Amino acid sequence: MWAQKSCVVNIGRAGSSRYHVVARRSGYWRPGSDYSSLITANVSGRLSDGDFVVVSEKAISIAKGQIVDEAQVEPGLTAKMLSRFWMRWIWGYPLGRLCHMSQTTRSRLRQYPVKEGAAHKQLCLERAGLLQALRHGSEGGIDVSNLPYSYAALPLSDPQGEAEHIRERIKCETGRKVSVMIVDTDKTYRLGSRNYTPLPRAAPGITAGGGLPIYVVCRVLRCRRRATLLGYAGEDLDVETLLDIAETANRARGVGAGRTPWHMAERFGVGLTEVSWEMLEQVAHYPVVVVKRLR
């Protein structure tokens, strides 16, 4: 039997509804993995009509082979400046403090890897633009955590289509009518009566884009933050409830081998670009989380 972790939480306005959250361990999804089959195998026999199946966007991106080896990227002058100056001196000092980052995070940013960082920033500039590349991480949804060597995962081009595809696959395989959510750990922020994410794409009801300015404003104001819903297929619910479910599933999923490349390297006792596929496969991963409404 696969290992799993579960809990009961209150979600909704004033904790109006109770949900049972179940995250079942899955093997690491390498490029080429049949993720649709892996998802249905993970949830088969454990679903009821009305459940929510929450899937990590990055896990799907990796399985689809939407990754780039940054060691092959040639950085330009702007990328080099971002790596050597912007990340170390701006994020590491005034901007990091302004955004209420921890002392540990700011210290790591002051030691941002110049060579590898420049290649990463070049990829971000090419794929997402300057306002995204100015961020300190998850620029444009490009993610390097829980990936080996110098690989970076690109965001899904059609998360809504992925959610619909997975929902239909689950219905055909199990006969259950569920809701499917594609979620990114990068945050959506509640500002006033609206929800914003710095990411370039999000589900309806969330204002996406803006990159650095949105991130800084929301962090400075300490806005409420939750995992970002990218694609959704299922029961018609308000965006606040969906974001609560997304964040709850995200917390149950955990951080895999580490929240950042620094955490991964420290965990395995290797350099920043020396984590291997085999090392990642030693760690518990929970790309699929099932959230059940208790009736």
Residues 254-274: pLDDT tens digits?
999 998 999 999 999 999 999
Phi, psi of 141, deg, nearest 5: 80, 5
Alpha-carbon distance of 117 to 133, in angstroms, equals 11
Percentage, residues of the chain above pLDDT 90:
88
- CATH architecture entry for 12-57+158-258+277-293: 2-Layer Sandwich (3.30)
One-letter amino acid for residue 50 of the chain: G
Count Cα atoms within 13 angstroms, Cβ side, for 11.
25
Contact 127, 142 (CB under 8 A): yes
**With 80 as the cut, is the pLDDT of residue 11 above it?**
no
pLDDT in tens, 66-101: 999 999 999 999 999 999 999 999 999 999 999 999
**With 80 as the cut, is the pLDDT of residue 15 above it?**
no
DSSP per-residue string spanning 194-244: EEEESSS---TTEEE---HHHHHHHHHTT-EEEEEEEEEESS---HHHHHH
Q: How far is CA 102 from the centre of its chain?
A: 20
Can you tell me which residue has the tokens 């649709």? 36
Nearest of 168, 291, 156 to residue 234 by alpha carbon: 168
Domain ranges of the chain: 12-57+158-258+277-293, 68-153
User: What is residue 186's predicted lDDT score, i.e. its pLDDT?
Assistant: 96
- Averaged over 238-257, what is the pLDDT? 94
Nearest of 52, 56, 61, 50 to residue 22 by alpha carbon: 52
Token code pair at residue 208: 């996406």
**With 60 as the cut, is the pLDDT of residue 2 above it?**
no
**With 60 as the cut, is the pLDDT of residue 239 above it?**
yes
Question: What value does the mean pLDDT of the chain take?
Answer: 94
The residues with which 207 forms a beta bridge, in sequence order, are 196
Contact 205, 244 (CB under 8 A): no
DSSP per-residue string spanning 94-115: IIHHHTT--HHHHHHHHT--HH
- Averaged over 199-213, what is the pLDDT? 96
User: What is residue 293's predicted lDDT score, i.e. its pLDDT?
Assistant: 87
Contact 142, 96 (CB under 8 A): no
Count Cα atoms within 13 angstroms, Cβ side, for 92.
15
**With 70 as the cut, is the pLDDT of residue 13 above it?**
no
Instruction: Give the sign of the dihedral formed by CA 96, CA 102, CA 103, CA 106.
Output: negative
Phi, psi of 77, deg, nearest 5: -60, -45
User: What is residue 1's predicted lDDT score, i.e. its pLDDT?
Assistant: 40
User: What is residue 9's predicted lDDT score, i.e. its pLDDT?
Assistant: 76
- Averaged over 100-108, what is the pLDDT? 96
